[in-house]
Amino acid sequence: MRCKIFYDVRNAIWAMPRWASCISDHPKNPTNKQEGFFDSKRSQSHVEMIVSFVLFVGFVVFLLLMFNPQKYISLGYGSIDEVQTSLMKNISVDYNYTSVILTSTTVLSPSTCFKVDSIAGINGAIAVKDMNGVLTYSRNESNWIIIMAVDSQRFYGIYSSDFFSELPTQCSSMVDIVFLTKPQNYSTGILTTKSAVLYENIEELNKSYYLDYEGLKKNLGIKNDFSFRIRRNETDILFDTVSEQPQNINILSREIPFLSINKTGSTENLFINLGVW
């Protein structure tokens, strides 16, 4: 490429910028090569920045899909209240309770069977305990209730519900049964309705948790995930699903004491540790 050289000062001054540009654009000029080198470096840096940004955005999207942080942000104690209410309702049962109190003049030998008139509200299967909570043989029939006496006990609590399985009575014949009349021989307590957790329902809950967890959540009507541990004390653990809890997330937990009753009428105080996430 040729460049015209001006000899007069005025024209030289006017042409200087174009003349300098002509020199810098010449293919043999090393300044031109240096600028091309830096342009290439800048382009490479831009590409690297774009790739890094795309990778970062992709990683953030992956975390959002995997862990759904909005779920944990919105998780409050209302969530654990909902799970507790639904879970305890599902495993609890209602039963009627009353009592029979023998008068001081009524003396029965141990293992003697006695009969009292049927009591309103005591329907279906029954479980009977003495004042120490010891179960005794009993049977609920259409017109009367048959109970086997325990030592010299005078107080007998009667639990009634369809879920009870009666202990087989050893009062096999009418000859063995002492007929008691009210109020000469006994009185009855106030009929009340109580609630407790049925132990057999806890067993079914634990079974469903491992066999059909999503189906269990649907039946309970809850959306949050949960786990539970049921124990008698710190060392006597009966059921435990805590190992199913995910790691490195916030888990709301609560301990709930409750009364458990089984189908034979035995009761005990237990604790459930409930976790929700």
As given in the structure block, the two tokens for residue 70 are 């909005």
Rounded-to-integer distance, Cα 177 and Cα 181, Å: 13
Rounded-to-integer distance, Cα 90 and Cα 218, Å: 12
Same domain, 202 and 85: yes
Written as tens digits, the pLDDT of the chain (277 aa) is 444 444 444 444 444 444 444 444 445 555 555 555 445 655 666 667 777 777 777 777 666 655 555 444 455 778 899 999 999 999 999 999 999 999 999 988 888 899 999 999 998 899 999 999 888 989 898 899 999 999 889 999 999 998 888 766 667 665 578 999 999 999 999 999 999 999 999 999 999 999 999 999 999 999 999 999 999 998 999 999 988 888 888 889 999 999 999 998 899 999 999 999 9
Same domain, 165 and 211: no
| Domain final residue, candidates 194, 215, 238 | 194
As given in the structure block, the two tokens for residue 176 are 């063995």
Same domain, 173 and 99: yes
Cis status of the peptide bond prior to 69, with omega within 30 of 0: no
Same domain, 109 and 245: no
For residue 14, being part of any structural domain is answered with no
What percent helix, strand, coil does the chain show, rounded to 5? 35, 30, 35
Rounded-to-integer distance, Cα 261 and Cα 199, Å: 6
Same domain, 101 and 158: yes
Residues paired with residue 140 on neighbouring β-strands, in sequence order: 145
Which parts of the chain are beta strand (E)? 92-102, 113-117, 126-130, 135-136, 138-140, 144-148, 155-160, 177-179, 186-188, 192-198, 226-231, 237-240, 252-261, 267-276
| Domain final residue, candidates 133, 162, 194 | 194
Same domain, 241 and 266: yes
Same domain, 160 and 178: yes
- pLDDT at position 71 is 47
Same domain, 86 and 127: no
3-state secondary structure of 152: coil
For residue 1, being part of any structural domain is answered with no
Same domain, 202 and 261: yes
- pLDDT at position 72 is 46
- pLDDT at position 50 is 78
Domain count, the chain: 2
Which residues are CB-neighbours of 5 under 8 A, at least 6 positions away?
19
For residue 261, being part of any structural domain is answered with yes
Query: Cα separations (Å) of 7 from 20, 78, 193, 222?
Result: 15, 92, 120, 94
For residue 17, being part of any structural domain is answered with no
3-state secondary structure of 196: strand
Provide the whole-model pTM.
0.67
Rounded-to-integer distance, Cα 29 and Cα 134, Å: 109
For residue 12, being part of any structural domain is answered with no
Q: What are phi and psi of 122, to 5 degrees?
A: -100, 95
Same domain, 132 and 264: no
- pLDDT at position 179 is 93
- pLDDT at position 92 is 97
Count of alpha carbons within 13 angstroms of residue 244, beta-carbon side = 16
Gyration radius of the chain's alpha carbons: 42
| Domain final residue, candidates 194, 219, 246 | 194
Domain carrying residue 175: 93-194
- pLDDT at position 66 is 59
Chain-centre distance for alpha carbon 162:
27
DSSP code per residue over 125-139: -EEEEETTS-EE-EE
Which residues are CB-neighbours of 171 under 8 A, at least 6 positions away?
113, 137, 139, 146, 148, 177
- pLDDT at position 7 is 43
Same domain, 204 and 188: no
Query: Cα separations (Å) of 15 from 23, 27, 38?
Result: 12, 21, 29
For residue 3, being part of any structural domain is answered with no
Same domain, 167 and 131: yes
For residue 9, being part of any structural domain is answered with no
Helices 213-220 + 77-91 axis angle, to 10: 90
For residue 6, being part of any structural domain is answered with no
